Structure 1
Amino acid sequence: MYDISSGGSKVIKKQLARMLKDDKNLEFQDQIYYALADIAQKEKDVPLALTYLEKSIKASTSNNTQRALSYLRRADIYFERPDYKNAQANYDSTMSFLPKDYVDYAVIEEKKKSLTALVTNLNTIILEDSLQRLARMSEKDRNAMIDNLITQIEEGEKAKEEARLNDIANAQLNNATITPENTPTGSGSWYFYNPTTVSFGVGAFTKKWGGRKLEDNWRRSEKDQVVVNPINDEDPADLSDSVKTLSGGTSLATKSKSKKDRNFYLANIPLTPEAIVKSDAKIADAYYNVGSIYKEQLLNNQKSIEAFEELLKRFPENKYKLTSYYQLYRTYLAMKDQSRSDYYKNKLLNDYPESDFAAIIKNPGYAADIAASKSQVEKFYTETYQLYASGNYMQVYENCKQADSLYSKSKLMPQFSFLKALAIGRTQDINAFENALTQVTIKYPKDPVREKAQEMLELIRKQKDPDAVISTDSVAVIKQKTKFVFKEDGEYYYMVVVENGKGDLNKFKNNLSNMNADVFSTANLAISTVFLDITHQIVSVKAFDGMKKAMDYFNVTESKKELFSDLEKGTYKTFVISSENYAIFYKDKIIVDYELFFTRNFK
């Protein structure tokens, strides 16, 4: 509306100030404040710009586009600082009002989603740390702090109710003073001057809360808003503040009916060693996700380094240890810090010389080679297992011998060896079967197949008979024995295992996010990504209460093939998985094992 280059900013600011005092410009105040913010920002007075943007937002009662632009400008300022928590809240508000045909709509939406994921993980760290500090208190001190928090909530609710009643009273007074003499005719753009407006009650609501739908949690802007915890960034250990996060929109609400009930908080405090381990795992997951989001989505290498190094400092033996070393090696290299890059490179090369990451450093083409090899061996194992299931035992035996020569270093060799033993049990005498199983236990003493083979050996020794053929029931016991446990209740995840570099993972996650907003908006689902190994990533959607709800989600995704349009066909696999089985799967990293378990139990 105003071009600062056309004249001195002082003249323009005076003109804008006069316009603000003129009642005829009441409906344009949001635009005037926005113009003043623009001038302040160009003059490098960012605090003043933020003040004017706040006034612009408050003055916007019917011009949603202007309101969106004011939120957007404020979000951009916070993003550049960077202050990602405030940026997330303002990008979220921007998306509530921004027209979908806005030129950068998709870019802004993507930034908002990245920041939402970031803030969600940051809040997880703060929340779990707060709960652990409560756990370390005496019962008396812990209950006193919770009771104090409940008192604050009650006082806050009382203050909000008083403010709401004052807003209604003021709005009624303002409405009564609008007369035909001072009210513009026709379709005026200011909401309260429009004679065709809806009833006063809706008008008052819109004036205070904006264009929100009248639905549960309407005070929250859209679905992805994250309640930013009132934590002082300079002192994140301040429990008096961080404990307040317990009253926000966290999963705690699902565990108790009222946040004014002491049990609402006690149910989530990790008071046992096992609960502390689970809490630590959540913190470690969150740090890894934060580091990845900073690096891959927000392109903030310094923040990414801080997150990965804090993860290694707090949890030196965490499950992301080698991946974090590799990420730090690559990130420092990108920042041209050769010394720190070499530090992490040498940790991998010297301490973990047999790791895939060390191999990649020594041979940059290794990742592509190993991906092709893993794909081949997994396909071959699946085919071999299917041959066994269909009774073609001789071919199973030949395939396993072939695998021993072609894929001797594969992680699937214990499974091939066990299948070979089972094929011998079906085609040869019991002594040959016993010898084959014994070889499995000797060759793979630490692999889960040893337990399967040992169980079978015990059955044989109980009914040893040189002429006997092993019973079908006995083989079935082994066939059904698995490291994974099937159960219908408990926490479940939806999981997509994707080959690296075979499509646009961010677009796929956006597709999932959009579907969640449209179809599962009340389920409070979160999407996260983690490296399974150097050739695969896991995209997970969590969490579901039980297998049935997870399978409902799975079936919806299977019916929406367009969700996967940004991934290359044949390069991903979809599952549901319990939280317990997820831990086993992530540790073993053998996709085909879980694929077979999933096929037997869920399809």
Structure 2
Amino acid sequence: MLGTVLLATACTSQKNTFVNRLYHNTTAKYNAYFLALEKIREVEENIIAEYEEDYSQPLPVFYPIDSAVIEANNERLQQARDLASKAIDWHRISKWVDPSYYLLGKIDYYQGKFDEAQNTFKYLNVNSSQDEVRHLSLIGLLRSFIDLRKFDDAVYVMDYLSKESAVSSENRFLLYQTLAYYYESKGEVDMVAPALFRALEYAEERKEISRIHFILGQLYQQAGLDAFAYEYYQKSISGSPSYERTFFASLYSQQVAELSKSKDLRRVRGYYDDLYKDRKNIEFRDVILYEKAIFEHRQDEKEESIRLLTLAAKEPTDNRRQKGYIYEKLADIYLKDFNDFLTTKYYLDSALKQFREGDRNYQALAARKEVFDQYALNFELIQKNDSLISLSRLTFEEQEAYVDEFLRKEEERLLREAEIQRNKKTPSIFDNLLASAGGGSGTSFYWNNPTAMSQGALEFNRVWGGRPLTDNWRRSSRGFQETSNAEMPEDLGEGENESENQSISSAQAALNLPDRESLLATIPKDKAAVDRLIDEMEDAYFNLGKLLFFDLKEAERSIFYLEMLVRDYPMTVKKPEAYYTLYLAKRELGQNYTLYADLLNAEFPESQYTKSVNNPESVSGTQANFESSQNYAAAYKLYQKNQYAASKDLLRSTLENYPLTKNTDRLLMLDIMNTGKMGEMEEYRTKLENYLLNASDPALINLARKMLDGIGGGNTMDDSLAEAGQQIEEEAVRAENEPNAEPEGPLEEQIYKENKSQTHVFILAMEPRVANESKNLTADLEKFHTSNFPNDRLRTGTIALDRENTIVIISPFSNAEKALLYRTQFLNSFNTENLPEDSKISSFVISIENFQQLNRRKDLDEYRAFFRKSYNE
């Protein structure tokens, strides 16, 4: 009876007695809270299980959270939310209320509800009396800020946490792991390893320790520190890692220890061959072939490297990313070693299909592929149209004979391939593609172009996979193993069986042949159809010429297409720009480029391209864009005030000083509008006609057409000018508000990179003698920091940069703005004995990434020049 009374009394969640607390603490922990935590752990295990580790790249510090995985686990998360809520509602006096709130914040975080999660974490930091929960909440808040790229907020949380005492070992591990994630997210690779070292001090789970060791091995290998890489790869093998990670750790440790340095090529090749033969490594054969191909390529064995990569691509595997790297490497080889842009394009197509949008290299690969897509589009159009125009000149009987001969040869080729495929385990589209390597210039008959035909084969292979020639190949019931690994029987007899097989092969070949009538139908039959093909080729020659010079850095091949354009299309509207590009290409090659400057002056004296070659000292790049934008905005204001002559003068001087910028089209349009308002109708008409021939902005071209149509129409002309004014007013406002920037140098000449959001340090450089005489410098700096930056936890260090320079490093600053504020305060109020004023004035701030460059190059003056330009100092 007494027990029943006690139990009934304990069940209330309001009365704060010892028995009550004991009951609610026990019930909350082992029922609602425990079950909610288990549900969340199940979700976290699923995140890890569903993530495909990419061992070819440094592993991410945290397993990325896939929204598809979260969606599949929504029911578990909802169950966890219900249980955690019950722990709060039913057991309000228990000590598991705050931990349950933390679980709710974690659930919101996983479901992408960042505002709700952050509010919960902030609430717990302010209101919870449990340090463990507060610290976990702050770490959760920190990770969410990093996810959202709110790095200033993240630094604030890190600084706050650094002042916290009694942080548990478990939380310290998570904190330093999150700090490594912060540096990883900011791209500060050099800082990831130190944070992971600190995390290792508090790590307890063997699997986590193994994974961190593997990441450290990758980071050291990437940095060229092979001895350290070997050590950490070996350490990663302990801790019961998966066989996959063990395989890669063994492979990479062998590479950094011996393979990359060994001169015994036979031994290295034998090592890869033994790995390949080991049946335990069947699922990694594509990786082994890929790594051996990389090795062979380093030995300048290009053909062998291609052969191995081709074999690697044929290996059956679930590792789609590895397939992508194989295709990407093939693309690199055909680009860099053979300059074969067409084959490069097809391999980039195949590579991109293996990656998902969330993969690290997807965006860069997609951007790179765009250039080669344009090359292939224009190159193949020229090939195809040239072939069809040639065929159109034949009689109909000759065309039929040509098509029949083509079909006969094509059938023979397909029969040969069918015979080969009978004896192959895995049919492949690579043989055709590799056979076509080396092409890429000139023209040939399109139907005989194996590279173009291989594009179709690649697409077929992507959709249907590698399939032997067989009936009913579309049937979905045919399994993967059946389609990719089926072998023809080896004991086929002669006679009837052989005849039957030949008949089947012949039927299969016929099924793959193009239709005779459709081939004949593609040949143009009249002058209008031929003219359409010729017009298409005009644009293609121009596009190829520009693409080859500006994007693919192939000046000689660019000249080939552009000279063909101006020779075969003397009336082309693209001639001024073609001349200008030829001028640049010839100048780059040290050839007679003045010819095209003369042609521009003779044929197009008013063109902006002519002004550009006549004014070689004109400013270009970012500064030119900025200055021309500002002048454009000012000229438009003059236009609005009816000050047309003044607007016109400003526009002309701008076009003289900055002939070719992103604003050229709109500057010219505004000049035309001034001319129209001033009543100079003949000049107005002529300028509009020339504008239509040379402008590139589609919206402005359409506007110019309307303005030309409105000439002589009285109100119609006024209406067209009013419409033009409305259309470019927004452009003028936008131009006026464009931020200032210094001109950018060529990408390959940029030693230092401008990244003001990155972590920065402050540098004070001096001669070693001055450093020795300034004995109180460090102490005075500490006093200066205590007085001016008491909450910033700044650190001071001194190193010898070289024999002539000792540098004092003050760190860290989360971005350039904070580092520059420090420098301003330093220049205004820091004083110490024996420190020359010129040393103070020559101090600077530098990002972590750029400091690595400075430490290698040892050239302070070089960096100071970059600092003055980039930081406006």
Taking structure 1 as the reference length, what is the TM-score of the superposition? 0.50
Larger radius of gyration: 2
Taking structure 2 as the reference length, what is the TM-score of the superposition? 0.36
